[in-house]
Structure formats: C-alpha cells, structure tokens
Amino acid sequence: MDNIYIKASKKVNIIGKKNIIINDIADIEGKKEIVNKIKHINIFTIDNDKKKNYLLSIITIIAEIQKYYENILIQNVGEEDIIISYSPKEKQHKYKNFIRIVKVIFVCITLFTGGGIAIMTFHTDAAVPDVFVRLYSLFLGEENINPLIIEIPYSIGLATGIIVFFNHFSSKKLTDDPTPIEVEMRLYERDVEDCIIENLTDEGNKEK
C-alpha cells in the first residue's frame, strides 16, 4: 500500500479560476505517478463570480482522492480546514496606478500626522520640555528655556530608536528578524482566519 502525504494550506487566494484542483490548495508527496494524477483532481467548483470565502475540509479532499485510489494510505500533515478566498478577475482600470499612489500618500500623511500628534501629546502630558530645562539647569548651572544641547540629541535618539524598533530604514531591513508590526499582522491574520473558519462552519451546520 502506497503512502501519500498531503499538506494543505490554511488559506488560499484564488483569482478568477472556477475549477479548483488539489494542487491549488495543497502540497502532495508520495509515489510520483500517483501524486501527478492526484494534483489534478478537481476538488471544488466556484458557483458564482462574486468575491467570497469558502470552507473545504481535509476529509472532503481525502474522500475525493479515495474515489480514484482506494488502496493508498493518505496522511494529513497540514491544516484540517482550508479557506478558499475567491476573487473575480479585476478589470484593468485606466487610473489604477494613480489611485494606488494617492492612497499611499494619504496613508503616509495620516500616519505621519497621527504619530507626530501622539508624540507631542505624550511630551506635553509628561512635561518633557520642563524636564529638559531642569536637567540643563542642574548640569550647567544656568537657566535656558530652549536647551538645544539636550533636545537635539533626544530627537535624534527618538528617531533612531523608532527605526531600530520597527527594523526598517527605507526599503531595507536592519536584521532578518520580523518587525513588531509583521508579528502583530501575522497574529491578526491568524485570528481572522480562525474566525472565518468558525463562521463558515456555523453557516454550514445551519444549512444541514
């Protein structure tokens, strides 16, 4: 009896394709002749042209494979539930790139403004300018309401700290480690996928 190993992805994005084959949603390993045929088995058909999420169980995939190959042992080493996120093919828009650039500029301005206001309000609440004046007076023995010798290094250090923390400078990463934002986005995506699976499972149970 031949062993077939199947590793399905938790979520696959399908654009415009209606007939989904096993190779679209999972990696298959085993006897080459069998694997090549299994990969092209039609496992799911999209019934409309609207953007929608579908749920497919690994049990359905195994059952479909066994219709063609009864005497093989299938072992799942991947996900138990697969989200098929279908999107229709987008029509070419004349101003698509321009709209994208405008969106990026808008997001950058929003983030820059919001970040700047957040830093300023924090400094106001914590009375940071007063602290700088006090430090200048303690170490240099004179009053100065604009202690640039402290403010300039502090500003440089603040910017450097943000760059190091977020692990990005321009388009390059300072290290190979994922940034805090990437980690949080990955956790968020995982939670969203789990929620989608639960919602689709509930919808499927109601239809039964």
Tens of pLDDT along the chain (208 residues) come to 789 999 999 999 999 899 999 999 999 999 898 999 999 999 999 988 889 999 999 999 999 999 988 888 999 998 999 999 999 887 777 777 888 899 999 999 998 899 889 988 998 898 988 999 998 898 888 888 888 899 999 999 988 888 777 766 656 666 677 777 888 889 999 999 999 999 988 887 776 6
Paired tokens of 39: 């990969």
CA angle 155, 170, 152 (to 5 degrees): 10
Closest CA to 41 of 12, 66, 16, 9: 66
CA angle 103, 107, 113 (to 5 degrees): 145
The CATH number for 2-87, chosen from 3.50.50.60, 2.60.120.920, 3.40.50.10190, 2.60.480.10, is: 2.60.480.10
How many other CB atoms are found less than 10 A from the CB of residue 12? Answer: 16
Question: Contact, 68 vs 4, CB < 8 A?
Answer: no
Phi-psi region at 44: left, alpha or beta (left = phi > 0; alpha = psi -120 to 50): beta
As a 3-state breakdown, the chain gives helix, strand, coil percent values, each rounded to 5, of 55, 20, 25
Rounded CA separation 109/132 (Å) = 29
Quick one: pLDDT at residue 81?
93
